[in-house]
Structure 1
């Protein structure tokens, strides 16, 4: 069983898959092995700001994150991305979410490019950002685990934040400072303290888009609610370079010809919007 955080892309049904050899291969073969990846409501998408429909009802109940500072968080290089596994209970309610439903934050994931011109999974008016981070939540009102919520109506919420290059991000400093210890696939480190609130934009800059989509990694389950903040976070060039130094293989592994082993360009290409509506909580 391949879940959101237990899949192994390197070997599936007797076939070797290495989508990280080059960014153009990331996600290309997934539909052969994970039928859901061929669905009509896949993510990421290009957000066309002119075609997004302003929905004032999104403002009736404000989106309310109630994130707790996490003690002893685990940071992992799984060969595909960097993951922060949160131990303390952080939740979010309101906005487009069903009333009286609470969504619990499970982990944070990063997608980035080997160059600043690319890296984000979603694009805005066909513009890519150097990085995108995902806060993965599950509905703990209806379900008891993230696995149980996958593919179910109102089961999973992903909050996406675009990242641009500029000044250092202090909240992510505790992560970027330990990446040198996670150089190879399978490496992990416990950090004493991480505050997920620092990943949210200033309260005055919390305009967002919302649409229904899927996970962007296998098994690509659909029925995922996506909330994408309009205003990006800022990290420094030095911070993103720490991500680009990571490797997608275990230490000592032999690399295929043409594969530099560096982890990056781990974004899925944008998928057709089909008949979906993108709503905006701002005009």
Structure 2
């Protein structure tokens, strides 16, 4: 077998030229949508109309007027958990992470399915992607669900993929949710999972033991990521807040993961990085970054935080970028590594 292609190690970024990492948000507006048109490219354009409840998504507690990442310091006034002792994101110091042989022995397993329809939503704060599963009736069975298991997760438990979140900066030296050795990356991609075996909905799983698990990938600029084209090729139609589009091109979330031989990771317990900032979230951060092109990143930077036909809030320019929360104190928590230093 040929050795894997050498990849940059996120934990070895030490110089000032390395991009700087930052916070991210989780959660998503649950919406009822109305079909407007079917385009030639085979996608359905929709408009978000209102909030609704769903067992598959986490809704952002959007009580702050305007772009909420400009007012991160105010979150604690409205959401008590935002000032808790196990908050995310954090600055990960690679040399302080504790190697845990059990993480290496208990393989982190991914069983993701190809999605024939994928919803792409601009919620005014970030971009959320929802890979659809055809057989909704099979939610409590392995078949038809995209799930993860193993690693730091409870033995014998599968967590179901609900959504994918993207967080990025205006410049390439910031944008990611977490930082590694105080350095950041231009974007962080988060795959949000919930324990659908133990809980009936994400809302129930939030803040509950073994409820939420998030896979996080830092990004590096380089060649185009062909798997992400399902998302980036459709961003033109979701430029404004509240716009959603259903892409009917095949999308497999596995395309976002590193090569199986390059799946070293760090793990710690934290929280959502957007209101309500619920804790008891299992974070799994991959050591090796995801590569995408500069032009693909620029497509994200074109998104806007206000609805079409309206103006940005006073004091804002309406550009969706720097949508991350400042890093939080690690405190007494321990970061574990699946690989020796």
Q: Which residue, out of 165, 171, 175, partners 1:115?
A: 171
Matches of residues 87-166 of structure 1 in structure 2 within 5 Å?
87-88=132-133, 89-166=145-222
Q: 1:164 offset after TM fit, Å?
A: 1.2
Please identify runs of 4+ aligned residues in structure 1 that moved more than 3 A.
6-10
Query: What's the secondary structure of 1:264's corresponding residue?
Result: coil
Residues 184-193 or 208-217, more deviating: 184-193
Q: 1:257 offset after TM fit, Å?
A: 4.3
- Unpaired runs of 5+ residues, structure 1, are none
The equivalent residue for 1:245 is 302
Q: Which residue, out of 260, 267, 277, partners 1:210?
A: 267
Report the CA distance shift for 1:9/1:219 in structure 2 as closer, same or farther (over 3 A): closer
In 2: Cα distance, 1:168 partner to 1:255 partner: 31
In 2: Cα distance, 1:188 partner to 1:263 partner: 16
Matches of residues 1-283 of structure 1 in structure 2 within 5 Å?
4-6=27-29, 7=59, 12=63, 16-20=64-68, 25-88=70-133, 89-192=145-248, 193-283=250-340
Q: Which of the two has higher C-alpha Rg?
A: 2
Report the CA distance shift for 1:31/1:249 in structure 2 as closer, same or farther (over 3 A): same
Q: 1:258 offset after TM fit, Å?
A: 3.9
Cα distance per residue 1:67-114 (max 9 Å; x no partner): 001111111111111111122220011111111101000000100001
In 1: Cα distance, 2:223 partner to 2:115 partner: 24
Q: TM-score, normalised by structure 1?
A: 0.93
Q: 1:17 offset after TM fit, Å?
A: 2.6
Q: TM-score, normalised by structure 2?
A: 0.78
CA contact (8 A) 2:268 2:334 kept: yes
In 1: Cα distance, 2:284 partner to 2:93 partner: 15
Report the CA distance shift for 1:257/1:5 in structure 2 as closer, same or farther (over 3 A): closer
In 2: Cα distance, 1:273 partner to 1:183 partner: 36
Report the CA distance shift for 1:243/1:67 in structure 2 as closer, same or farther (over 3 A): same
CA contact (8 A) 1:9 1:18 kept: no
In 2: Cα distance, 1:26 partner to 1:212 partner: 24
Residues 188-197 or 226-235, more deviating: 188-197
CA contact (8 A) 1:64 1:92 kept: yes
Report the CA distance shift for 1:139/1:9 in structure 2 as closer, same or farther (over 3 A): closer
In 2: Cα distance, 1:59 partner to 1:98 partner: 15
